[in-house]
Amino acid sequence: MSFLEQLAIAWQGLLGNRLRSVLTVLGIVIGIASVITLLGIGQGAKQEAEKQVQALGVNLIYIRPGSSGTGGISQGQGTAPTLTYDDARSIKENCPAVQDSAPQYSSSFQVQYNEQNTMTSVVGTDPSYTKIRNFFTARGRFFSESDVEQAARVCVIGDTVANNLFGSENPLRKSILIRGELFEVIGIMEHKGVTQGMDMDDQIFIPLSTGYASLFGLNAVTGRSVRSILVQAKDGEDMQAEFQITNLLRLRHNVQTPDGDDFTLRTQSDIMQTAQSITGVFSLLLGATAGISLLVGGIGIMNIMLVSVTERTREIGIRKAIGAKYWDILAQFVLEAVMMSLCGGLLGIGLGISGSYLISNFANWTTVVTPDSVILSFVVSLSIGLFFGIYPARKAAKLDPIVALRSD
């Protein structure tokens, strides 16, 4: 018997019980659609995490101070004042693989304009901050090296701060009070949104020298410590930059062994790997959840095929009596199972792609349907038909024709 003849017989067998076949296919449709949609959500989350990491800047290295301890208990990374403004300058001047660096010292202060006030983060830094963080002004300008040298009382405010203090009023050239000190607004930062759980728009940037002189209570005598140092490595030289910075800081801080490091380096690739690891687990969990529905759909196919074998025992006996062989009967029932799973798979792929599109457009979630997920879904639907269809098909093919003909 030719393959086309077997295919026609299998199709007729499915049409003989349309409602039952449709309900069985529906289980596969839902399973495949769930897999594609949930994998699309997971892939979208991964892409969104990567986008947020890239939005922080390019070739970044984060340097944080060590941790202080009280009663033998560590207070956490960044609590010890072990990094200084001079460290940042020295990194920029003495590390060939470093493109630029920007020290940071931040603290929360009450900020006031006329009757409006808000609590926000005030960040003291250098002009190189904008280029390193890929974060520029939308209006006005960022402060310059001249402003830093003169410890000018100027500031650049984030989009959220501008809305909280000024509403629809133009903030440029207006003066605001930060901890009772007057600062002139010379710029407004572009909208950045939330990155790594922090609202980048709810910040005020001032020259670090001004912060030392009037806000942070730090000077050349008390020690000009910084909360962190942002470093931008040259293209392709991240590892060299990390090595050079580590050695330089160990020399400056008189650290004798690696265990004695009073600072922590973290590269952008480390952050990216962490983000990918988290979103990878998220995608795996979503895929596993959807896989359960596929398993249920596969069991449904096996159950229906077993029922079909029982109902069509006499038909099988007649076919064997007129010359049908073991492989003919086996192929017929396997083809029926595969045809159901493939129809369900193709419909499920279409439904899954449509569902991902709807979620992306109406729920404002980033979803990414990749060719890999579509191919995987198609292969899985085919495998389900084969795996769950073989046992009922073998049972049908092994029936004794005499016993089958005696059945009602």
Of 265 and 156, more confident? 156
Looking at the domain assignment, is residue 367 inside a domain?
Answer: yes
Q: Please give the single-letter amino acid code of residue 256.
A: Q
Q: For the chain, what is the domain count?
A: 2
235: three-class secondary structure by DSSP: coil
Residues 216, 301, single domain; the answer is: no
Identify the band that residue 52 occupies on the pLDDT scale cut at 50, 70 and 90: low
Would you state the structure tokens that stand for residue 389, as one six-digit string? 């269809």
Q: Helix and strand tally (H, E) in the chain?
A: 13, 14
Looking at the domain assignment, is residue 295 inside a domain?
Answer: yes
- Measured CA to CA, the distance from residue 122 to residue 124 in angstroms comes to 7
Residues 45, 109, single domain; the answer is: no
| pLDDT > 70? residue 405 | no
Residues 398, 295, single domain; the answer is: yes
Looking at the domain assignment, is residue 112 inside a domain?
Answer: yes
| pLDDT > 70? residue 53 | no
Residues 284, 399, single domain; the answer is: yes
| DSSP track, 12-67 | HHHHTTHHHHHHHHHHHHHHHHHHHHHHHHHHHHHHHHHHHHHHT-SSEEEEEE-E
Please name the residues in contact with 167: beta carbons below 8 A apart, sequence gap of 6 or more: 116
Pairing of strands 154-157, 203-207: antiparallel
HSE of 97, CA atoms in CB hemisphere, 13 A: 18
Looking at the domain assignment, is residue 239 inside a domain?
Answer: no
Query: Which of 299, 222, 282, 240 minimizes the C-alpha distance to 27?
Result: 299
User: What residue numbers bound the domain in which 20 lies?
Assistant: 3-50+280-406
Q: Please give the radius of gyration of the chain, using alpha carbons only, rounded to the nearest integer.
A: 34
| DSSP track, 119-154 | EEEEEEE-TTHHHHHT--EEEE----HHHHHTT--E
Looking at the domain assignment, is residue 261 inside a domain?
Answer: no
| pLDDT > 60? residue 74 | no
Residues 8, 123, single domain; the answer is: no
Would you state the structure tokens that stand for residue 206, as one six-digit string? 């001032």
Looking at the domain assignment, is residue 238 inside a domain?
Answer: no
168: three-class secondary structure by DSSP: coil
Looking at the domain assignment, is residue 62 inside a domain?
Answer: no
Of 218 and 346, more confident? 346
Residues 368, 309, single domain; the answer is: yes
pLDDT of residue 58: 66
Identify the band that residue 274 occupies on the pLDDT scale cut at 50, 70 and 90: low
| pLDDT > 70? residue 375 | yes
Residues 221, 300, single domain; the answer is: no
Identify the band that residue 223 occupies on the pLDDT scale cut at 50, 70 and 90: low
pLDDT of residue 263: 87
| pLDDT > 80? residue 6 | no
Which DSSP symbol is given to 264? E
Q: Which of 226, 256, 289 is the last residue in one of the domains?
A: 226
Query: Which of 78, 97, 110 minimizes the C-alpha distance to 246?
Result: 97
- CA-based angle 286:288:294, to the nearest 5? 110
Residues 108, 9, single domain; the answer is: no
